Amino acid sequence: MKAKLISPFWVMVRKEMADHMRSWRYNLMLLLIGLTCLGSLYTAMMSIREAVPKDQTLNAFLFLKLFTVSDGTLPPFITFIGFLGPLLGISLGFDAVNSERNKGTLSRVMAQPIHRDFLIGAKFVGALILISMMFLSLGFLVMGLGLLAIGIPPSAEEFLRMLLFLLLSIIYVGFWLSLAILFSIKFRQSATSALSSLSIWLFFSVFFTMLIQLIANATAPVNATNPNDILQHQQFIQVIMSLSPSQLFSEATTTLLTPTVRSLGPLTLEQVYGAIPSPLPLGQSMLLIWPQVTGMIAATLVCFGISYAYFMRQEIRSR
Amino acid sequence: MSIIRSKSIHFLITFLLLGLFIMPTTKAAEGVILFSPYTDISVTPGESIHYSIDVINNSGSVQDLELAVEGLSNQWKHELTAGGWKIQRIAVKPDDSQTVSLDVDVPLEVEKGTYNFHLIAPGKTSLPFTVHITEEGTFKTEFTSEQPNMEGPSTGAFNFETTLRNRTVENQLYSLTADAPKGWDIQFKVDSKRVTSVNVEANSTKDVDVEIVPPENVKAGSYKIPLKAATNSTSAQTELEVVITGTYDLKLSTPSGLLSTDVTAGDERKLQVEVTNTGSANLRDIELKSEAPVNWEVTFEPKKIDAIEAGKSAEVTATIKADQKAIAGDYVVNMTAETAEASSDAGFRVAVKTSLLWGWVGILIILGVIGGMYYLFKKYGRR
C-alpha cells in the first residue's frame, strides 16, 4: 500500500478537475469572470489618478486601489468577485452527486475498492482547487497588469493584503460550492438543486438587503432621543446583516483592501473623538474582520459537514 | 588838606580816564598805557587765546618799552608778536599807539579754576589778565557710557552707546577690546560699521556703539563686560553691565524622542515622559496634564514636579489607559507640562490594538467545527 505513488483519493480529484476543465460550464464562467476582471481593471486604471490622496504623508496603498476604485461605469473588482463568485461555486457544485446518481455512474464508482467518503471529498476538493487556480491567476493577472500600468510596485503589506483577499474569495466561493453540493445530494433532480442554490444566492444578494431595510424600519425606536437605543438598534441590524454570507464577504474584503477602514459597526462620538485618520496595520485589519472570516470558514465547513453526513447515510442503489 | 584834595583830584582824573577808556587799563605811569578790551575770559583746556593789546604813549617823548608776561606757568605757552615778528621790546612814538598780539595756549592738562597773569613793561606799567578754565583738562582718553546698564532676556542683543574722547593733542588710533566671558559676542560699531579700532582726532570725541549678544544658554544674573580702548601711549576703560532676566521655557518629550506608542483597548501602557527645562531660569511646580479621548485615563507619577533647574530634566511615568470600546487604529493623546511661566505640550500617537480574545474565540469556533467534522469522518467514513 505504501509503495503506491498516488492514493485513489487524488486520482479521483484529478478526474473531477479534468471533467470540469473540459466542461462548457467552467470555461464559460472563466471567460465571464476573466472579462469582467479585465473590464474592472481598465476602469480602475482610468480613475486611479483621482484616487491618489492629496495628502502625500498618508500611506496611499495605491496598489490596493486597483481592486476597489471605479469610475462608476463598471463596478470594481471586489464587487464582481462578490457577485459572480457564488455563481461559479454553484455552477461547479449543483450537479456533483445527483447527475452521477442519475447516470448510474455513482454505484459503479462505489463498486471500486475505495472508501465512500473519497467521492464526496474529491468532488469538493477538486472544484475548490479549480476555483483557487482561477482566482489566484486572475489576482496575479490584475497585479501584473496594474504593475505595468501604474509602475508602482506593491509593498509587502499590500501584497499580503491581496493574497489574503484572494484566499477569502476562495473561502467564500467554497461556501457556495459546499452549499450547492449539499443540494445536489438532497435533490435527485439537478435542475431542482441548481434552482434552490440560485434562489438562495439571489435571496442573499438581492432580497436580503431589502428585507433588512424592512426590519430596520419596523423595529426602529419610536422616539430617537436616547442614543443608547439607536446604538442597540444599529447593532441588532448588524447582527441580522451578518447572517448573509455576501455581507460577511463584502465587509471582510473591503476592510482588507481599504486599510483606512477602522471599524465596521456604528461608532459613538466618544470612540471617534481623538482618533486620527490613519491606515490600520494588517494584523489589526485581520482582527477587525476576524468574526467575518470565522463565520465564513465555519459556514463552509458546516455546509460540507452536513453534506458529508447526509451523503454517508444515503444508500446507493444501482439502477 | 590841599595834598589830600590834590590826591583826590588825581584819583578823579584817573577815574575819568578809566571812564573814558571803559575797560581797566594800566596804572597810568610815565604816560604809557597798555590796553586790551578783553582781559577776563573763559576758555576750555587746549584752547588758544589771542589778545590784541594797544600800547598807548601819552607822554611827549618816545617810549621804548620792554614787554614780558609774568605769572604764567611753563605749560602755558605764550608769544608776543607785532608787525609779524616775535618781539621783546616795543617803541611808541609820542601821542601814538602800537598794537601787540599776545597768544596764549591753554594746556590740555590743566585744572579747573581761575588763572591770573600780567603783561608787564618793567618799571613802567602792567596789564592784568584773568583766564577762567571752565572744565578740567587732562592729557588722557575718556571712554564713557551714559547708560552702562541694561536688562533683558538672553534671546536679545544689548546695544550700548559709548563715547570715546581723545583728550590728547595728537590723533589716536584706538584698538577696542572687550574682556567678555566665554560665549559672549561683543561687537563695536562706528557709523554702523563693524570695527575693531577707531581713529579719534585730537581733542574730539567719537561715538562707539557696542552690541553685546549673550550666549544662548546663559543663566539669569548680572554680567560685567569690561571694555578697553588703547593705543601705545594712552588707554581708557569702561565697564558695561548686562542683566540677564531668566527665560522660562520647557519641553515635554520622551527620553528617546519617540512620540508614539501602542495600547490594547481596555488595557494600559506605561510611558516614560521627560520634562526638560530649556529656559535659563529655574522652574517650579510643574504640573502635568493630559487631553485624551473620552473614557481614556492618563495618570502621571508623580503628578507634579517641584522644581527643575535650568537645563536639567525630570522624568515622569505616564500611564495611558485606553477605553474598552476604543476602535483599532491611531488616537491622539495630548500631554501638557505647565508652570505659571511656561508650558509645553506633546501629542502622542497611540495606536490602539484590539484584544486578541475574540480572535481566539473565532479560532475555537473553527476548531470546534473541524472537531465535529472529524467526528463525522470517524462515524461514517471508511464504510
- Rounded CA-CA distance A83/A90 in Å is 12
Q: Is the pLDDT of residue A179 over 90?
A: yes
The verdict on a CB contact (< 8 Å) between A288 and B354 is yes
Q: Is the pLDDT of residue A159 over 70?
A: yes
The verdict on a CB contact (< 8 Å) between A274 and B296 is yes
- Rounded CA-CA distance B170/B193 in Å is 24
Task: Identify which of B325, B326, B362 has the shortest CB distance to residue A290.
Answer: B362
Q: What's the pLDDT score for residue A128?
A: 93
Check whether residue B326 and residue B241 sit in a common domain. no
B34, B125 contact by CB (below 8 A)? yes
Residue type, B43: V
Mean pLDDT for chain A?
84
Share of chain A above pLDDT 90, in %: 19
> CA-CA-CA-CA torsion for A231, A232, A237, A243, nearest 10 degrees?
120
Q: What's the pLDDT score for residue B19?
A: 46
Check whether residue B81 and residue B50 sit in a common domain. yes
Chain B residues lying within 8 Å of A284, measured CB to CB = 328-329, 353-354
The CATH number that applies at residue B272 is: 2.60.40.10
Q: What's the pLDDT score for residue B70?
A: 85
Closest-approach residue (CA) in chain B for A308 = B376
- Locus of grid cell 527620553: B255
Q: What's the pLDDT score for residue A155?
A: 84
Task: Quote the DSSP letter at residue B287.
Answer: E
> CA-CA-CA-CA torsion for A234, A239, A244, A248, nearest 10 degrees?
90
Check whether residue B149 and residue B31 sit in a common domain. no
Mutate to test the interface with A, among B324, B327, B379 (most CBs of A within 10 A): B327
- Domain final position from B192, B210, B245: B245
Q: How far is CA A195 from CA A27, A124, A177, A205, A247, in A?
A: 21, 20, 14, 15, 21
- Rounded CA-CA distance B153/B280 in Å is 9
Mean pLDDT of B92-109: 86
Closest-approach residue (CA) in chain A for B294 = A270
- Domain final position from B88, B117, B133: B133
Check whether residue B11 and residue B30 sit in a common domain. yes
The verdict on a CB contact (< 8 Å) between B354 and A270 is no
B210-256: per-residue pLDDT in tens?
A: 999 988 778 888 889 899 988 887 888 889 999 888 778 888 888 88
Q: What's the pLDDT score for residue B20?
A: 46
Q: Could you tell me the three cell numbers for B146?
A: 551714559
Check whether residue B122 and residue B153 sit in a common domain. no
Mean pLDDT of A198-203: 92
Task: Give this prediction's pTM.
Answer: 0.67
Task: Identify which of A274, A278, A288 has the shortest CB distance to residue B293.
Answer: A274
Q: Is the pLDDT of residue B26 over 60?
A: no
With helix as H, strand as E and coil as C, how does B231-265 read?
CCCCEEEEEEEEEEECCCCEEEECCCCCCEEEEEC
The verdict on a CB contact (< 8 Å) between A270 and B370 is no
Mutate to test the interface with B, among A125, A280, A289 (most CBs of B within 10 A): A280
Of the ranges A48-62, B19-33, B44-58, which one carries the lowest mean pLDDT score? B19-33
Domains: count for chain B: 3
Q: Are strands B204-213 and B197-200 parallel, antiparallel or unpaired?
A: unpaired
**CA distance to partner chain B, nearest, from residue A46 (Å):** 31
- Rounded CA-CA distance A82/B20 in Å is 135
Mean pLDDT of A200-209: 89
Residue B317 lies in a domain: yes
Q: Is the pLDDT of residue A174 over 50?
A: yes
Residue B380 lies in a domain: no
Residue B376 lies in a domain: no
A93-142: per-residue pLDDT in tens?
A: 888 888 888 888 888 888 888 888 888 889 999 999 999 999 999 888 88
A235 in contact with chain B, both atoms CB, cutoff 8 A: no
A266-317: per-residue pLDDT in tens?
A: 777 777 777 777 788 888 888 888 888 998 999 999 999 899 888 888 877 6
Q: What's the pLDDT score for residue B13?
A: 54
Residue B57 belongs to what domain range?
Answer: 2-133
Check whether residue B268 and residue B312 sit in a common domain. yes
Helix (H, G, I), strand (E, B) or coil at B48: strand
Q: Residue A154 phi/psi, 5° resolution?
A: -75, 150
Q: Is the pLDDT of residue A224 over 90?
A: no
The verdict on a CB contact (< 8 Å) between A275 and B333 is no
Mutate to test the interface with A, among B261, B321, B330 (most CBs of A within 10 A): B330
Q: Is the pLDDT of residue B4 over 70?
A: no
A302 in contact with chain B, both atoms CB, cutoff 8 A: yes
- Rounded CA-CA distance B320/B290 in Å is 10
Check whether residue B226 and residue B280 sit in a common domain. no
Check whether residue B84 and residue B155 sit in a common domain. no
Q: Could you tell me the three cell numbers for A155?
A: 509593498
Would you place residue A54 in the very low, low, confident or very high pLDDT band (cuts 50, 70, 90)? low
- Please give the biggest Cα pair distance in chain B: 185
Would you place residue A165 in the very low, low, confident or very high pLDDT band (cuts 50, 70, 90)? very high
Q: Is the pLDDT of residue B295 over 80?
A: yes
**CA distance to partner chain A, nearest, from residue B290 (Å):** 12
Order of strands across the sheet that contains B113-121: B40-43, B125-133, B113-121, B68-70
Task: Identify which of B349, B366, B376 has the shortest CB distance to residue A297.
Answer: B366
- Domain final position from B133, B160, B178: B133
Q: What's the pLDDT score for residue B30?
A: 57
Q: Quick one: which H or E segment has residue A138?
A: helix A116-150
Mean pLDDT for chain B?
83
Q: Is the pLDDT of residue B143 over 50?
A: yes
- Rounded CA-CA distance B35/B53 in Å is 5
Of the ranges A46-50, A58-62, A304-308, B271-275, which one carries the lowest mean pLDDT score? A58-62
Please, which residues 104-163 of chain A have a Cβ atom closer than 8 Å to chain B?
Answer: 115-117
Residue type, B94: P
Residue B368 lies in a domain: no
Per-position b or e across B344-366, b if 16+ CB within 10 A of its CB: bebebebbbbbeeeebeebeebb
Q: What's the pLDDT score for residue B74?
A: 81
Chain B residues lying within 8 Å of A231, measured CB to CB = none
The verdict on a CB contact (< 8 Å) between B354 and A287 is yes
Residue B118 lies in a domain: yes
The verdict on a CB contact (< 8 Å) between A309 and B369 is no
Check whether residue B269 and residue B348 sit in a common domain. yes
Phi-psi region for residue B245, left (φ > 0), alpha (ψ -120 to 50) or beta?
beta
B166-202: per-residue pLDDT in tens?
A: 877 678 889 999 888 888 989 999 988 999 999 988 7
Predicted-complex ipTM score: 0.72
Mutate to test the interface with B, among A117, A119, A171, A286 (most CBs of B within 10 A): A117
Check whether residue B108 and residue B175 sit in a common domain. no
Q: What's the pLDDT score for residue A59?
A: 56
Which residues, including other chains, have CB under 8 Å from residue A143's CB and lie 6 or more apart? A63, A66, A154, A162
Q: Is the pLDDT of residue B15 over 60?
A: no
Residue B227 lies in a domain: yes
Q: Is the pLDDT of residue B123 over 60?
A: yes
Would you place residue B25 in the very low, low, confident or very high pLDDT band (cuts 50, 70, 90)? very low
Closest CA to A158 of A15, A267, A59, A271: A59
Check whether residue B235 and residue B282 sit in a common domain. no
Q: What's the pLDDT score for residue B22?
A: 46
Q: Is the pLDDT of residue A2 over 70?
A: no
Residue B378 lies in a domain: no
A133, A217 contact by CB (below 8 A)? no
Share of chain A above pLDDT 70, in %: 94
Q: Are strands B313-321 and B297-301 parallel, antiparallel or unpaired?
A: antiparallel
Check whether residue B230 and residue B324 sit in a common domain. no
The verdict on a CB contact (< 8 Å) between A291 and B332 is no
Of the ranges A233-237, B297-301, B366-370, which one carries the lowest mean pLDDT score? A233-237
Q: Could you tell me the three cell numbers for B30?
A: 610815565
B312-346: per-residue pLDDT in tens?
A: 888 999 999 988 888 888 888 899 988 888 888 88
Residue B382 lies in a domain: no
Q: Is the pLDDT of residue B138 over 70?
A: no
Closest-approach residue (CA) in chain B for A263 = B327
